[in-house]
Structure 1
Amino acid sequence: GDLVTVQGLCKQYPARGNAPPHKAVRNLSFGVREGEIFALLGVNGAGKTTALSILSGEFPMTRGRALLNHFDIQHQMPQARQFMGYCPQFDGLLDLMSVREHLCMYCRLRGIPSRLMPHVVARMMDHLVLSPYAAKTARTLSGGNKRKLSMAVALIGGPK
């Protein structure tokens, strides 16, 4: 079966003033199997970011159904989040925290035992070539290294 199942996903924002309701996502359906690489493509304003924001629990859907590892995101989001890693379009990093501090904080949030944290953090930094920047604050990182740190944060805890 699919690890991610999306059926008829819709997001409509209410009308404002004289403008009609805005349909940001229209009847999106897809499935992603474990180990598959999936790309959601579309022109600017097509609703890609909105769709991913719905799947991450940031926005509610207007209509449709979405399952993450068989958990319905409308009713079982805490369970679904255990299997999720999300790297948003814009970095959600804290300027004054170091690379290592970010990764340790997300280890704690993901429930990784303290005794495993140094290994998990070192492995993630090595994997994404962030070790030379371990003590650098997010503010001082290049744009590319900020993206790598955001990816590392999303991968903490081994999401499916």
Structure 2
Amino acid sequence: MLRIYLVLSTLWLHIYAHNRHGFLARRQISANPVFLPRCKYDEHIIKNDENLQKQIDFANFVFTGKVTSDIRYHDNNTILFNVYVKRYFKNNGGLKDNQEVRVVKTLYEGEGVKCRQVLRSRYTAIFIGGKPQKLQEADVQLTISPVPVTLTNLDRVSTATKGK
């Protein structure tokens, strides 16, 4: 009995101690989307002030808000969700403060499969977008992924909208 215990403990040490991020970690990643890395498709826009300024100049709407509904996936690689608007930085479409807005976002290739999508219910972010062209059931079409709300990002967005 002691011999079986020693063999099993040696096997366990060999598998787990030497290969902590090997086979089991890959299985966890493929099984649970929480272990996927965060999608960083628009990171170069958020970190560069000139690129952010171009996106804000191009956009009709820049606002902070909270996702209030579940995310609905459509066949044409888009998602639709509701956002409760807290504050507008830029509003060229006549939308009102403190209201719910229907937002549509086009997914990037592999978003939600190869990397973890940031959007979820009750997620607070800065949304930058324009008027939708294809989907009439939405009020805003996002041009870039939602920007996380941090003091740095809020300062960048407010200076970019006031600088115009």
Scaled by the length of structure 1, the TM-score of the pair is 0.22
